[in-house]
């Protein structure tokens, strides 16, 4: 079955190839918008088509893209795309990824120097032919050569915890500059995206030169890409770009709003302003008829208020419905880290963890939690010395002894991360699982199985009366491994029917469920868990990344099982 990602990818390629052909810019944008709408859709487009749903009801999909979607899903081919691929070499898209080379330059390089890919681009740069092209010049040729490495490394993005580390370093460095009056990080980092392609640093200062000098002296700086009157960009190690923007005090809110994005969110809000006779840029909100008339911009709240919106939490600024009235009343109740009362997925030295049960419990207690579940691996995960029935029962007996010594303010639940075997059975017997307080089921092996088989395995686990939750339900590892081919809507429906939980795994390399799948789960009325899957005490600090991901799906505390108090969750687990 054609996935949403496959359809979106086809439309994105259409957009790129149309852009190379010099098509109308708005037509290109329509393809990109359509691709985003499909990528962001929590429902399977192929399924919608199979159900006979009219795709033009999706915002951004008109009659043309709807028809092309149907053709692609039903035949597996998109004739227009295949025709474009003949007219324009698809490998020119790689050239467009070189910073400084867009569609126009790429197409001229192709037409005048027969450049078709990065390799031939390098050749014509090194032979000096590019510098002789009208409008290119020696500097352009030189910068293309320098930037090719970045394109060859293929869009290196930082995971959210790596970005966090870099932000800390930059913040510490910039705070020692006396000219900095205020600073914050905007962009996708502020929106809490699971990976970050660059960082946007915003500063208020009256001495721009001093701030820029200080920025350029950041110890990790690799190269200064550009430096203008208000904007400067550096590259830090591993080709990662950091942008600095220095703004005046009364533009702070407008600039923070502008640079937080997303691009789609900003396009939407500026269109909204325009329809109300106003213009928004990074300096403020202005009267469209008299642009000298400044209306707002000191705070983000002011910017949103003047176009008739409440302040939008950054995590929700993706143009996924945040402008619709009716969705906004819950924003002040979005989940935050302090709502988390427990952690229901973690490992100990009994399998592949680094700490003992008591150490994990003490670490959780010191982080303000009132309960944990110890969920070591089951025997199938032999690499981690997974527990068999006897070992599991022994561990639970030990947990009973530890709990018996407790004053009752903190509780350790007897849990297991039980493998869902390749043949669809659970790794431990029902008799054993029945004695656990908490069973979370996972797939670790047979991840390449076909869709029906993988889906059926997870459905089996959901139907098992002793299983409470499914861990990392799609198995993806960000940047390393794709999700397994699972029919998640079937999983969600089953979880709904059997009142089971789905996990949002907070580990930054998992964050699984992702934001879109979490939206789908919450919309279906599923209770999720947000767990660290900690293999050490230090890993318990990863909870915040799961919470950020949940906020991106507008999750409220009542949607999350481990936001329940200890008494509440005891009642829940005893089935009352």
Partner DNA sequence: GCCGTTTTCGGCCCGACTGTTTTCAGTCG
Binding site for DNA (CB under 7 A): 24, 26-27, 29-31, 33-34, 56, 58-66, 96, 98-106, 131, 134-141, 143, 187, 198, 200, 226-232, 241, 243, 259, 263, 266-267, 270-271, 273-275, 279-282
Residue with smaller CB distance to DNA, 151 or 530: 151
Give the ranges where 235-383 is alpha helix by DSSP (H).
252-260, 263-275, 300-306, 357-366
Location of structure tokens 């395995």 = 457
Q: Which is nearer to DNA, 100 or 450 (CB)?
A: 100
Which CB, 96 or 402, lies closer to DNA?
96
Q: What's the CA dihedral at 202, 205, 208, 209 to 10 degrees?
A: -110
Smallest gap from residue 207 Cβ to DNA (A): 15
Concatenate the DSSP letters of all residues of 333-346 into one string: G---GGG--EE--B
The tokens of 187 are what? Answer: 């962009």
Cβ-in-10-Å burial (0-12, 13-18, 19+) of 261 comes to buried
Residue 512 contacts residue 483 (beta carbons within 8 Å):
yes
Closest approach of DNA to the CB of residue 274, in Å: 5
Nearest alpha carbon to residue 414 among 346, 508, 478, 365:
346
Q: In angstroms, rounded to a whole number, what is the distance separating the alpha carbons of residues 33 and 18? A: 14
Nearer Cβ to DNA, position 111 or 382? 111
The distance of closest approach from Cβ of residue 102 to DNA in the complex, given in angstroms and rounded to an integer, is 2
Contacts (Cβ under 8 Å, ≥6 apart) of 45: 2, 4, 7, 38, 55, 69, 73
SS3 508: coil
User: In this complex, which beta carbon is closest to DNA, that of residue 31 or of residue 185?
Assistant: 31
As measured in angstroms, the least distance from the Cβ of 526 to DNA is: 29
- CB 163 → DNA: shortest distance, Å? 14
DSSP assignment string, 104-116: HHHHHHHHHH---
What is the 3-state secondary structure of 453-468? HHHHHHHHHHHCCCCC
Q: How far is the CB of 230 from DNA (least distance, A)?
A: 4
- The phi-psi region of residue 135 (left if phi > 0; otherwise alpha if psi is between -120 and 50; otherwise beta) is left
The C-alpha atoms of residue 379 and residue 445 are separated, in whole angstroms, by 12
262 preceded by cis ω (within 30°)? yes
Between 16 and 417, CB nearer to DNA = 16
Question: CA 526, CA 519: separation in Å to the nearest integer?
Answer: 10
- Nearest approach in angstroms of CB 208 to DNA is 9
Bridge-based pairing of strands 411-419 and 438-442 is: parallel
Report CA-CA distances (Å) from 11 to 68, 93, 423, 500, 569.
9, 14, 37, 36, 46
Nearer to DNA, 34 or 546 (CB): 34
Specify the residue, 323 or 445, whose C-beta has the smaller distance to DNA. Answer: 323
- Is residue 78 helix, strand or coil? coil
Biggest CA–CA distance in the chain, Å, is: 82
| Rounded to 5°, angle at Cα 156 from 153 and 160 | 165
- Which is nearer to DNA, 29 or 153 (by Cβ)? 29
Q: How far is the CB of 293 from DNA (least distance, A)?
A: 13
Strand partners, 563: none
Residue closer to DNA (CB basis): 65 or 494? 65
Closer of 101 and 501 to DNA (Cβ): 101
Cα-only R_g, the chain: 26
- Minimum Å distance from CB 2 to DNA? 18
Cβ 12 to DNA, closest distance in Å?
13
CB of 144 to DNA, least distance (A): 10
CB of 282 to DNA, least distance (A): 6
CA distances from 196 to 162, 240, 573 (A): 9, 10, 38
> What whole-number distance in Å separates Cα of residue 473 and Cα of residue 427?
17
Pick the closer one to DNA by CB: 232 or 470.
232
Residue closer to DNA, measured from CB, 103 or 441? 103
Minimum distance from residue 224 beta carbon to DNA (Å) = 8
Please say which residue, 117 or 422, places its beta carbon nearer to DNA: 117
Cα(346)–Cα(362) distance, integer angstroms? 13
Q: Can you tell me the distance from the alpha carbon of 452 to that of 460, in angstroms, rounded to the nearest whole number?
A: 12
CB 21 to DNA: min, Å: 12
Residue 431, both tokens: 């008799």
Q: 103: number of CA atoms within 13 Å, CB side? A: 16
């Amino acid at each position: 079955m054609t996935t949403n990602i496959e359809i979106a990818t086809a439309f994105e390629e259409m957009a790129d190839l149309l852009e190379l052909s010099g098509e109308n810019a708005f037509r290109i944008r329509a393809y990109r918008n359509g691709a985003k709408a499909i990528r962001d859709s929590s429902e399977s487009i192929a399924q919608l088509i199979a159900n006979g749903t009219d795709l033009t009801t999706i915002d951004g999909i008109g009659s043309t893209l709807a028809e092309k979607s149907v053709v692609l899903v039903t035949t597996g081919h998109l004739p227009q795309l295949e025709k474009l691929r003949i007219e324009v070499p698809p490998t020119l898209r790689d050239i467009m990824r070189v910073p400084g080379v867009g569609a126009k330059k790429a197409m001229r390089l192709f037409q005048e120097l027969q450049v078709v890919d990065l390799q031939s681009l390098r050749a014509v740069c090194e032979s000096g032919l590019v510098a002789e092209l009208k409008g290119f010049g020696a500097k352009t040729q030189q910068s293309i050569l320098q930037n090719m490495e970045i394109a060859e490394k293929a869009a290196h993005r930082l995971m959210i915890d790596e970005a966090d580390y870099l932000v800390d370093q930059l913040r510490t460095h910039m705070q020692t500059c006396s000219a900095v009056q205020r600073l914050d990080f905007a962009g996708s980092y502020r929106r809490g995206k699971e990976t970050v392609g660059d960082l946007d640093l915003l500063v208020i200062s009256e001495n721009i030169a001093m701030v820029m000098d200080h920025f350029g002296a950041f110890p990790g700086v690799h190269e200064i890409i550009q430096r203008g009157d208000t904007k400067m960009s550096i590259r830090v190690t591993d080709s990662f770009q950091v942008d600095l923007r220095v703004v005046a005090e009364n533009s702070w809110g407008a600039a923070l709003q502008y640079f937080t994005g997303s691009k789609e969110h900003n396009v939407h809000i500026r269109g909204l302003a325009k329809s109300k006779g106003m213009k928004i840029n990074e300096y403020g909100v202005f009267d469209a008829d008299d642009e000298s008339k400044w209306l707002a911009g000191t705070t983000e709240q002011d910017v949103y208020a003047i176009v008739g919106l409440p302040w939008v939490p950054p995590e929700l600024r993706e143009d996924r419905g945040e402008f619709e009235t009716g969705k906004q009343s819950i924003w002040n109740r979005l989940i935050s880290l302090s709502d988390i009362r427990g952690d229901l997925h973690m490992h100990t030295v009994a399998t592949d963890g680094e700490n003992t049960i008591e150490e994990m419990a003490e670490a959780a207690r010191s982080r303000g939690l009132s309960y944990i579940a110890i969920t070591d691996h089951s025997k199938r995960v032999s690499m981690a010395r997974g527990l068999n029935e006897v070992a599991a029962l022994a561990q639970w007996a030990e947990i009973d002894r530890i709990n018996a010594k407790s004053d009752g303010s903190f509780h350790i639940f007897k849990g297991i991360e039980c493998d869902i075997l390749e043949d669809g059975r659970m790794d431990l017997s029902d008799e054993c699982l029945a004695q656990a307080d908490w069973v979370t089921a996972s797939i670790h092996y047979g991840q390449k199985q076909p869709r029906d088989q993988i889906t059926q395995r997870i459905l089996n686990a959901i139907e098992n009366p002793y299983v409470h939750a499914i861990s990392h339900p799609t198995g993806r590892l960000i940047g390393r491994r794709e999700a397994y081919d699972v029919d998640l809507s079937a999983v969600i429906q089953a979880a709904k029917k059997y009142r089971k939980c789905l996990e949002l795994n907070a580990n930054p390399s998992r964050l699984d469920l992702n934001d879109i799948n979490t939206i789908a789960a919450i919309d279906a009325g599923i209770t999720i868990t947000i767990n660290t899957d900690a293999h050490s005490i230090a890993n318990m600090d990863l909870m915040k990344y799961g919470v950020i991901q949940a906020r991106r799906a507008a999750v409220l505390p009542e949607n999350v099982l481990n936001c329940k108090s200890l008494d509440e969750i005891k009642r829940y687990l005893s089935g009352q």
